[in-house]
Amino acid sequence: MSLIRGVLFTGALAYIAVALLELMATASVEIQAIVAGLFLAATIALTLVKDEIALKRYEMTLLWMCVFLFGAYAALSYRGGAW
């Protein structure tokens, strides 16, 4: 595993741990912690992909999902509360 993939893997694991700690401390962030954990798990899965073409496709899918979710969050926040 290259250095970049190793750092990404370690960082994603650290953020999953933070999300779990936040979930245990504050029950009101349940949905956010679960969604963050799923995206971070997908990020970890990307570090294991060896096929460059498949990796590019997965990265672009995750990128557009993030863009869509950011837009949905902005639209919901504009109306007075996202959650």
Going from N- to C-terminal start, the domains of the chain cover 1-48, 51-83
Task: Report the distance separating Cα 13 and Cα 25, nearest Å.
Answer: 18
User: Helix, strand, coil: what percent of the chain each, to 5?
Assistant: 85, 0, 15
| 83 residues of the chain, pLDDT tens digit each | 578 788 888 888 898 888 888 888 887 888 888 888 888 888 888 888 888 888 888 888 888 988 998 888 788 777 766 55
**What does pTM read for this prediction?**
0.61
Question: C-alpha angle 16/33/55, rounded to 5°?
Answer: 55
Q: Identify the helix (H) or strand (E) that includes residue 38.
A: helix 30-47
